[in-house]
Amino acid sequence: MKPISIFYGSTSGKTKKIAKNIQTNFKSDFVEIYDAKYAKIEDVEKHENIILGTSTWGKGLLQSDFEKFLNNILKHANLKGKKIAIFGTGDSSIYPESFADSIGIIFEALEGKGATFVGEVSTDGYQFESSLSIFGDKFIGLPIDDDSDEDQNKYRMTIWTELLKSDLS
Ligand SMILES: Cc1cc2nc3c(=O)[nH]c(=O)nc-3n(C[C@H](O)[C@H](O)[C@H](O)COP(=O)(O)O)c2cc1C
């Protein structure tokens, strides 16, 4: 497997924990992890494969560190030839109308910049009303729901990581 860099934005630490779980699931020394608050453009450009993940705040807004990081990427990073997978955290019971919007916001911002997106996920098993993260009939990345139990989230992360092991090869 080629090296992967994971970048996360997290306010209360939930997304940080998910990002670390995803890193662990790869069982590889070649998966690096960065807090978007401190990540540099060189970190983004270092590896062909990147995973981006953050929470949704407000009602359908990006987590603030990640928003700044994304703007920095848009201004300065060359994404040509990169493979990108996206995950997002959210809460479908309290915010069913903007569930995990962060995934779709990131995708729409970076689409057309020369990268390929991998890691789509079926909406089966998620309870919500609407989400900006659905393209066609699937989530464009992996939503992790505060409202789901830990086992379900672990299962979803395991399946997703296995998918990425082949899609990011
Ligand atoms: C004020 C506030 C607004 C939120 N807005 C949304 C939202 O619009 N959609 C959603 O899916 N989750 C929303 N959430 C839930 C968070 O995204 C979720 O708790 C996430 O796990 C937080 O991750 P973090 O602590 O790593 O930033 C909101 C939470 C708070 C406290």
- Mutational test site, ligand 1, from 56, 134, 147, max ligand atoms within 8 Å of CB: 56
**CA atoms of 12 and 131, how far apart (whole Å):** 22
Atom of ligand 1 nearest to the CA of 12: 25
Atom of ligand 1 nearest to the CA of 58: 3
- When pLDDT is cut at 50, 70 and 90, the band that residue 169 belongs to is confident
State mean pLDDT over 97-104.
Answer: 98
* pLDDT of amino acid 118: 98
* pLDDT of amino acid 139: 98
Whether 132 lines ligand 1, by a CB cut-off of 6 Å, is no
* pLDDT of amino acid 151: 96
CATH of the domain at 138: 3.40.50.360
* pLDDT of amino acid 43: 97
* pLDDT of amino acid 115: 98
State mean pLDDT over 3-11.
Answer: 98
Q: Which domain holds residue 26?
A: 4-167
Q: Which amino acid is at 27?
A: K
**CA atoms of 140 and 116, how far apart (whole Å):** 12
* pLDDT of amino acid 1: 81
Q: Which two tokens stand for residue 24?
A: 């662990």
Domain count, the chain: 1
Percent above pLDDT 90 for the chain: 98
Per-residue pLDDT tens digits for 116-162: 999 999 999 999 999 999 999 999 999 999 999 999 999 999 999 99
Whether 117 lines ligand 1, by a CB cut-off of 6 Å, is no
Within 51-100, where are the H helices?
Answer: 64-76
Whether 60 lines ligand 1, by a CB cut-off of 6 Å, is yes
- When pLDDT is cut at 50, 70 and 90, the band that residue 81 belongs to is very high
Per-residue pLDDT tens digits for 38-73: 999 999 999 999 999 999 999 899 999 999 999 999
**CA atoms of 48 and 53, how far apart (whole Å):** 17
